[in-house]
Structure 1
């Protein structure tokens, strides 16, 4: 039988359930294009081989959702940052935790490995960028300059610079040796989500929620060109390995761009949704996207994609393009990076590190490292991919063959260069909510040593500060009292960060209040949940709990998942609010839910009854999920223990 001719340009490779809860981050290994790392709300980092269904390895140790992950170039190390601000580095070949890095005061939004030295850069919701020496488990330098969350970090190919993109609409370039900002690139009118260095030339690309991609000359420090009209926010871009073009992952397509002049070479329809990362292997582009707990992978055959302006389907357009080409396209317009001759060379360490935070590991960090594990789930795939470090070469089968396309032709994924995709992914600014509620919570419970005390709103924890939190964590053999001026100087160091925290929370509460004034309680709660800020949810629930008549079955379906998070919090105010809300729901709605579910099916069509039945089923499922947690905590002593025991008795009818 003759082999069918494959005519597909793009196709979906597979879809897997990557985590027990929502996936919050993922990254592809850029060297192979075959290794995938995912981070989830279940606080785990899972490793996968693209196009294989089973998890290779599961990394545990984080105690809050994993917000950012990154693989190093040889794909031997992985770094993961959590919602609490902690960072962990694992050695994949040795299958063990390598380092725990503490110091950020908020969510870790971005990470990157230095291409040659043993350094990691991290960007956070606290607006700081930190450079870590993972050999010594210390912060080499802290870079300040952004006023909002740092969403993306990339080292230059020669390892001398670091580019950062942030929600403050700016891109900044940092000199690692000098330890200062080289240049700032303004121009974007929305949050900047991604930056990428050209693989050879002094050129930087940035993608923003304002639906533009800008190219920056790193010799003249000015904009080269700007591509406008993207269908939605730009989240993922990738240069071709030879630097001939830039790929942009849109909501429903892959777009191929040139920048001198700016133009679109090709558009390939790919229904991958919000593609989160791109990689290239064997002349195939791999794209991955996540939705809830699922991760999907897609393939685009680059041999069927136009990647330069020298080939065009329209002769008239072709002649126009050729007039704009360089006499010799192989000669770059800009300076080329000078890479080290060997990967053993390390970047020069910063000498004037007045802001250095290097310190000896605390017992708390050592305990966390002991509790962090790398669990091998699939020994066969693990041995195939991660050979011993003393191996002569790492050339496992995952690098060899391209992914085969399905034999059937599918016109829905065919290449279409002339028809731009309709805008499908419009990013609406998240409303900032404020309920007429209490002032910021000051909890008397001190934060654990391993967690910083300054906590921005998006970290989903209340703010609790004391003067000692700003002082260096150094054991002084002889207790000496600090002079007032010195103590105030230490406290002022956290002032800017605290202002960012309080400003963010104020905006969030303003948004909730705007919805609240309309009288739609359900929409108010939905908006608070959408902000992903538990402190706002707590404030809102404290208002709603005071008036039981505000509660409806609709409200329960939205609030119950948030209650489960509150009951697991280490902050008393959160647990107390969660217990109060759950008790109210159980007393008012549990008898109704059980009665409706136990009733015989109705005859005929009753839409309102069907909707009520659906809500009851959803609430019952959520309550069953919470019941195990309540049962576990009912054995606690103290005030919370008695509250959980009461809840456990109220939930007895669920069994």
Structure 2
């Protein structure tokens, strides 16, 4: 029987809220880092469901994560535009860097220096000096969010992929734009440099992979149009082929001339990152709170497997193309390499930098795995030997795995010896619908006689303890509203609403709803479909103002679109094709489904509401009866 080429390795819950980003360690292919809406950065061994370490201290959701080349550091970018750099060996936070004005979607470490590049929804790319805690330069040219960043193997250029359909190449030494690659017809999701040759690959929402010559900055070939957007590509470490994970398959591409070597069926979707280790391709994806890992046996996949022609194929590729010059004295992240040339433009003066506070900490969840991983690295450094991660030689098909391979380790918690043990931070009010006064008041009031010996200074300290948290929440809310306002003023109401929903901040959504409720002309069936599920959630809020706003919006929908929904409930006849009517039927059916669940919700909660809310609910029930 033919052996299986691809299989699922593990599926597990990675965060208590939605996972927003994921990155694999490309040196070993054995470690993974994830970031989520719970504001945590979690470290994992690939294929094992027990978290090794949780990195805590971010104040907003984590939008992007990236290992450094040696897998000793992790950088995480948040929705607020701040970066945190974490030392995994020391289990501590090293730096917090701020300066972006919107969420960070792209990150990369310099291949040998102490530098990080970040790309943001504010359309800018920033280059950071980690040692000096500052921004060296800001590259401003993109017209939309930056989705991906990659340094060249020699560390002299940066490639940035953007929602504006372009790839831009930046020269770090000159601080200027070298070239703009414009052949894509949709947002560019990812870029990857060839490991040695002056070649770049890019994947786009236009469902193609394009290959670019970095001497002429021209597109030399393009893949056929796929069925799905291209979100993840990865060059084989020997440079013989490019892997593209789209839809439910892995496609293996060559170039000059373009060829698809093989299509490997895989039961996956929306792969976020890939790595190659021991003749196996490791791929990972996320959906809501879960993360899934997959394995492809490259020994059975052309051109690196099956016929053993990888070396001859590599030798037969375009030998005239120049290569990156990557020879340099050996360096590491802890070393002090000589600095690359700086731009003639002086560093920016207005970038703010924050040292890590007491709330930033690393919690080791799996002490055994942590010591295996990082004690092994330390020993290898002391012996000047290459480090090999202490994992199995390969990832076995889980059906054939022995019980010992599938055994899970019980969780342990240990604080880093480099840091004093600190109390875990209190839950920030940002996760709630709004701020409660009791969150910032002392839990016990002093008696009249003063028998509890609480001094005035201690009482003031308790009262002001939550001030910084309150300020952080309000600042974040202000930033969220500014983002929504920017989209709103551009005339794209749907994008503004989409953005407010994705922020998962009910107060921002309620503010936006109050504006939309006052302008009935803004509503249409698309907006109804988008907002009705959110209105249903708001009707369950414990805050009367949120319920009232949601109820007013539901009444407005029923008054203006009730008859439209009712008249389009029946499926169009199949005797002729009317696309617009079919689309209207689907939208109205979706609205009716949510409205029916709202009706059930109101029936079950009418007895526990305030008089004002009860009055709103009765009015909604009357309007709902008109569409039945």
TM-score, L = length of structure 1? 0.66
In the alignment, which residue of structure 2 is the partner of 1:559? 535
Q: 1-side partners of 2:154 and 2:553: how far apart?
A: 64
1:346-385: per-residue Cα shift (whole Å, max 9, x none)?
Answer: 4414152324248785xxx23x532111111111111111
Aligned equivalent of 1:336, options 305, 323, 326: 323
Question: 1:251: how far off?
Answer: 1.3
From the superposition, tell whether residues 259 and 352 of structure 1 become closer, same or farther in structure 2 (CA, over 3 Å): same
Q: Secondary structure at the match of 2:169?
A: strand
> Does residue 1:84 correspond to 2:104, yes or no?
no
From the superposition, tell whether residues 537 and 289 of structure 1 become closer, same or farther in structure 2 (CA, over 3 Å): farther
Q: 2-side partners of 1:269 and 1:455: how far apart?
A: 44
Aligned equivalent of 2:59, options 60, 63, 74: 63
From the superposition, tell whether residues 562 and 169 of structure 1 become closer, same or farther in structure 2 (CA, over 3 Å): farther
The 5-angstrom pairing of residues 35-434 of structure 1 reads 35-307=31-303, 328-329=315-316, 332-339=319-326, 340-343=328-331, 345-350=337-342, 352-357=344-349, 361=353, 365-366=354-355, 368-387=356-375, 390-393=378-381, 395=387, 397-398=389-390, 401-406=393-398
Q: 2-side partners of 1:30 and 1:20: how far apart?
A: 26
Question: 1:555: how far off?
Answer: 6.7
Q: Secondary structure at the match of 1:505?
A: helix
The 5-angstrom pairing of residues 531-542 of structure 1 reads 538-542=511-515
Q: 1-side partners of 2:51 and 2:400: how far apart?
A: 29
1:541-579: per-residue Cα shift (whole Å, max 9, x none)?
Answer: 4444899xx9x99977523657999x9xxxxxxxxxx75
Q: 2-side partners of 1:620 and 1:258: how far apart?
A: 61
Cα contact 1:384–1:396 (8 A) shared by 2: no
From the superposition, tell whether residues 373 and 512 of structure 1 become closer, same or farther in structure 2 (CA, over 3 Å): closer
Q: 1-side partners of 2:27 and 2:53: how far apart?
A: 19
1:44-85: per-residue Cα shift (whole Å, max 9, x none)?
Answer: 111111111111111111111110000101111000001110
Q: 1-side partners of 2:529 and 2:189: how far apart?
A: 38
Cα contact 1:6–1:405 (8 A) shared by 2: no
Question: 1:182: how far off?
Answer: 1.2
1:466-487: per-residue Cα shift (whole Å, max 9, x none)?
Answer: xxxxxxxxxxxxxxxxxxxxxx
Q: 1-side partners of 2:530 and 2:159: how far apart?
A: 45
Cα contact 1:84–1:451 (8 A) shared by 2: no
Unaligned runs of 5+ in 1: 313-317, 319-324, 410-445, 464-500, 514-524, 568-577, 590-608, 628-642, 648-655
TM-score, L = length of structure 2? 0.69
Q: Secondary structure at the match of 1:462?
A: helix
Q: 1-side partners of 2:154 and 2:489: how far apart?
A: 42
Question: 1:342: how far off?
Answer: 1.5
Q: 1-side partners of 2:155 and 2:323: how far apart?
A: 13
Aligned equivalent of 2:482, options 448, 457, 462: 462
- CA RMSD after TM alignment: 4.4
Structure 1 stretch displaced more, 34-43 or 529-538: 529-538
Question: 1:462: how far off?
Answer: 3.0
Cα contact 1:161–1:175 (8 A) shared by 2: yes
Aligned equivalent of 1:582, options 530, 544, 547: 547
Question: 1:178: how far off?
Answer: 1.1
Q: Secondary structure at the match of 2:370?
A: helix
Cα contact 1:447–1:453 (8 A) shared by 2: no
Aligned residues: 492
1:411-439: per-residue Cα shift (whole Å, max 9, x none)?
Answer: xxxxxxxxxxxxxxxxxxxxxxxxxxxxx
In the alignment, which residue of structure 2 is the partner of 1:504? 487
